[in-house]
Amino acid sequence: MIHLTDAASDPLTIDRATCESLDAADPLAPFRDRFALPEGVVYLDGNSLGALPKHTRAHLDRVVAEEWGVGLIRSWNDAGWFAKPQAVGDRIARLIGAGPGEVVLGDSTSASLFQVATAAARLRPERRVIVAERGSFPTDLYVLESVQETVGGAQPLERRLIDDAGPTLDDVLDEDVAVVVLTHVDYRTGRMHDLAEVTRKVQATGAIMVWDLCHSVGAVPVDLASAGADFAVGCTYKYLNGGPGSPSFMWAAPRHHEQARPALTGWHGHARPFDFTVEYEPTPGIGRFRVGTPQLLSMAALEASLDIWDEVDLDAVREKSLRLTELFISLVDRRLAAWQVEVVTPRRSAVRGSQVALRHEDGYAVMQALIERGVIGDFRAPDLMRFGFTPLYVSHADVWDAVDVLEDVLASEVWREPRFARRGAVT
Amino acid sequence: MIHLTDAASDPLTIDRATCESLDAADPLAPFRDRFALPEGVVYLDGNSLGALPKHTRAHLDRVVAEEWGVGLIRSWNDAGWFAKPQAVGDRIARLIGAGPGEVVLGDSTSASLFQVATAAARLRPERRVIVAERGSFPTDLYVLESVQETVGGAQPLERRLIDDAGPTLDDVLDEDVAVVVLTHVDYRTGRMHDLAEVTRKVQATGAIMVWDLCHSVGAVPVDLASAGADFAVGCTYKYLNGGPGSPSFMWAAPRHHEQARPALTGWHGHARPFDFTVEYEPTPGIGRFRVGTPQLLSMAALEASLDIWDEVDLDAVREKSLRLTELFISLVDRRLAAWQVEVVTPRRSAVRGSQVALRHEDGYAVMQALIERGVIGDFRAPDLMRFGFTPLYVSHADVWDAVDVLEDVLASEVWREPRFARRGAVT
């Protein structure tokens, strides 16, 4: 448990001035000015789509005007386009405890999970079970349905789902399990697995461990190497601020590189793509997880955001993240008790990511009213309001202001107005 | 055969002034000013990476600054992000003879071919053969290896390759063939299949026809509906000028939409993606070919280029394309006969795409010398120089100038200088 400050360790004494003094002492505070946040907005949805780094516009425009417009086809060599997915991957490696040559960018996270999960399952051909979590972000389960069929063939692999209510991982692990796919930080509740401990347990049964780091990278410490994990995928448009739909990344432990056979075999993963041979031959190393031509403009925006991440102390991120989530939870406890708001996220910091979910029966309407007032979080069915705390641009004063507005929305019951009623919403 | 003009119908009488008068009479000539081409360059590689439309920079910057920077997560609804892959697909539909609701954007062409080819093969579960062309762009063959395994399971589907030297399509078609995958316009030679005739022949045997339109869309007439084709994929960064790595597209005939089961099952293809259910249920229609979150910045650049395509008369494109390629071939015949340059591309316009390939034993070095002189084409192993003619921004005078430089490079033998010798080149 990280205490807010000595002065603030009793949540009853916190006020906005306390928050401002926490901001004044915050070593990450200067990063906020690197982002173009709209006036009057408290943005607590960076866990869904990260904010725009100010210099991304100029960087992207230069890539468009110079590398594409002037360099044209020559930029595949001259601007290093072909090598980009691995060069950018190397910059992400530090953020997840991986080494150079171990990370490569892919298409969407769904497509990349298909790559690593098929590669993982094919390493255990004699085993017939994939384990996943019922509460995973659903695309992971949807993709795994395809993996079960792709790898299993006429006899699709069996799926076993674990759940907070049981069965547990211990209940389902046995020698039939080929692969376990878990999300490090739960997309709804923010509950965080012990990455090293779970990896050890899974590998002890001979299974392969695949981590989904979508809600971890840039938010919490991840050390794949010291955990000895097998494979991972993650998303770059959340905490990493790569822009809407920026490319996912894939990681494979070096010990698996040469045996790995991911299911999508496009020419960018070929050993000699410009020999134009008829037969597929995977390139040595992580490059074999590549598929086709990468979407270079989306990748360029990600590169710009990594300029910021190159400067960031990850321990400071975790420390501030815990302070922000703890502050939010404390203020919710103190000020919102009257309105049936339940903190769903673990209060124990060791198992908490960088977001807090509040359960409220009418969470959808409350969130719409909040957004109208400039406090942007999101809603996850059936009844969760999610608030993401991104240490690079969310301040302690933001947390105070968000709870202020939330209290007012609940007390005034403005959320009962018909315009906030639920309809087919996207986010 | 489209004649250049009455005055120019005898290639021996063509000079640069003829080319200039052809440009003056060219209804597509005004489009050239819509593109930002570098000074001193004749760009004949738009069949590999299209040129930058001038207004793409401002459009993309607006999407970055306003939709991402200000709209943030709200843009999924407010800016129509979720619907984009189909909305943009509808704009491509007109270019390939498809209707609204039939085209959707995907990740790379390789990933999209995997989608449509698995869906196609699964429509003929009792058949065990995939037919493809040995001369396909290799990623198609690599992807099909995965399709053979994914659909065939323990008993991968068999592959039969056709070849200009035989076996022919007629030789290999029988009642074991599930799917035929062909590229409409050959990436090296520019030879064009008769899309309707081949489709009819393939379907007559009960097989499913998948077209790769990478070198067709925006270059030659494509009418999938009247050909009654089954599936297609294509690329948007060549003739469509969507930018480096811009998203591919997929088309499925409406009669297949409800049965189609593409192998990548991500949440953007789900019937109710925001219900976050545990089981995958494909959405009705072409949307089920979607996978994960699309790379929206790359897609935004494509949208800008489609603003131009919305205005283009496709018949005029074909007419000019044939005039340009015919002019180039005529000038090569007349001026380069002394230097063992062979025109590989068909001279018969009905089977010619929008590019011309010249065979030369030292084609690599010749092409490098040409590029140094500002005439940008590309090289395809072992000995082909490719020249793409994009009617929106290549003029008849460009063709004249390119042959001028090519003649000079060959006559001077400058290409023998060591700096043009072959090394591990990317393009």
Helix, strand or coil, per DSSP, at residue A89: helix
> What's the average model confidence in pLDDT over A199-222?
98
Residue A10: its pLDDT value, please? 65
Statement: residue A306 has pLDDT above 80? yes
A-chain residues near B247 (CB < 8 A): 295
Query: Nearest residue of A to residue B53 by CA position?
Result: A69
Q: Is B238 a catalytic residue?
A: yes
pLDDT at A4 over 60: no
Residue of B nearest to A65 (CA): B57
Confidence of residue A427 (pLDDT cuts 50, 70, 90): very low
Q: Do B73 and A48 make contact, defined as CB atoms within 8 angstroms?
A: yes
Q: Which residues of B are annotated as a binding site?
A: 109-110, 137-140, 183, 212, 215, 237, 267, 293
| pLDDT attached to residue B7 | 44
pLDDT of A11? 66
Token representation of residue B377 = 């084409």
All residues at 6 or more sequence positions from A255 whose CB lies less than 8 Å from its CB, including other chains: none
Q: Tell me the CATH number for domain A82-309.
A: 3.40.640.10
Per-residue pLDDT tens digits for B332-350: 999 998 998 999 999 999 9
A405 conformational bin, left if phi > 0, alpha if psi -120 to 50, beta if neither: alpha
Instruction: Calculate the average pLDDT of chain B.
Output: 95
The count of C-alpha atoms lying within 13 angstroms of the C-alpha of B285, restricted to the half-sphere facing its C-beta, is 11
Q: What is the pLDDT of residue B9?
A: 54
List, for residues B267-296, the tens digit of each pLDDT value: 999 999 988 899 999 999 999 999 999 999
Q: Do B11-54+313-420 and B82-309 share a fold?
A: no
CB B180 within 8 A of CB B202: yes
Best of B139, B149, B246, B378 to mutate (most A CBs within 10 Å, chain A): B139
Please report, rounded to a whole number, the percentage of residues in chain B having pLDDT higher than 90. 93
In this predicted structure, the answer to whether residue B390 has a pLDDT above a threshold of 50 is yes
Angle B81-A76-B398 (CA atoms, 0-180°, nearest 5)? 95
Q: Where are the domains of chain B?
A: 11-54+313-420, 82-309
Question: For residue B330, what are its two tokens?
Answer: 């005529």
pLDDT band at B6 (very low <50, low <70, confident <90, very high): very low
Q: Looking at residue B65, what DSSP letter applies?
A: I
pLDDT at position B427, please?
45
List of chain B residues whose C-beta atoms are within 8 Å of the C-beta of residue A61: 57, 60-61
CA–CA separation, B280 vs B73, rounded Å?
A: 25
Q: What gap in Å lies between CA A230 and CA B117, rounded to an integer?
A: 30
* Structure confidence by residue, pLDDT tens digits, A12-57: 789 999 999 999 999 999 999 999 999 999 999 999 999 999 999 9
Tens of pLDDT, residue by residue over A359-413, are 999 999 999 999 999 999 999 988 999 999 999 999 999 999 999 999 999 999 9
Q: Enumerate the residues of chain A whose CB falls inside 8 A of the CB of residue B301.
A: 64, 297
Q: Residue B184's closest CA among B235, B145, B241, B240?
A: B235
Catalytic residue among B35, B114, B231, B237: B237
In angstroms, the Cα distances linking A384 to A322, A358, A366, A407 are 20, 6, 10, 16
B210, β-bridge pairs: B181, B231
Closest CA to A186 of A253, A127, A138, A242: A138
- Binding site as annotated, residues of B for pyridoxal 5'-phosphate: 109-110, 137-140, 183, 212, 215, 237, 267, 293
Strand partners of residue B131: B160, B180
CATH class belonging to B11-54+313-420? alpha beta
**SS3 per residue for B109-131:** HHHHHHHHHHHHHHCCCCCCEEE
Q: How far is A164 from chain B (nearest CA, A)?
A: 15
Instruction: Give, for B33, the enclosing helix (H) or strand (E).
Output: none
pLDDT in tens, B394-423: 999 999 999 999 999 999 999 999 999 976
Write out chain A residues lying below 8 Å of B105, CB-based.
none
Region A184-198 average pLDDT: 97
Per the CB < 8 A criterion, the answer to whether B95 and B309 are in contact is yes
The span from the CA of B245 to the CA of B247, in Å, is 6
Q: Do B152 and A153 touch (CB under 8 A)?
A: yes
Report the percentage of chain B scoring pLDDT > 70: 96
Smallest CA-to-CA distance from A49 within A246, A238, A203, A188 is with A238
CA gap B110, A73 in Å, rounded: 20
Residue A3 is predicted with a pLDDT of 54
Query: What confidence tens digit (pLDDT) does each residue in B298-324 have?
Result: 999 999 999 999 999 999 999 999 999
CATH superfamily of A11-55+313-420: Aspartate Aminotransferase, domain 1 (3.90.1150.10)
How far apart are the C-alpha atoms of A181 and A209, rounded to whole Å? 6
Mutate to test the interface with B, among A149, A261, A297, A370 (most CBs of B within 10 A): A297
Cβ of A244 within 8 Å of Cβ of B378? The answer is no
A6 pLDDT exceeds 60? no
Over the stretch A90-139, which tens digit does the pLDDT of each residue have? 999 999 999 999 999 999 999 999 999 999 999 999 999 999 999 999 99
Residue among A110, A292, A426 minimizing CB distance to B82: A426
Query: Using a CB-CB distance cutoff of 8 angstroms, which residues of chain B are in contact with residue A139?
Result: 266-268, 292
Active-site residues of A, by number, are: 137, 212, 237-238, 386
Task: Tell me the pLDDT tens digit for each residue of B174-203.
Answer: 999 999 999 999 999 999 999 999 999 999
From B141's Cα to the closest Cα of chain A, the distance in A is 7
Q: Give the Å distances, CA to CA, from B340 to A275, B357, B383, B414.
A: 24, 13, 12, 16
What DSSP letter does each residue of A356-381 carry, written as one string? EEEE-TTHHHHHHHHHHTTEE-EEET
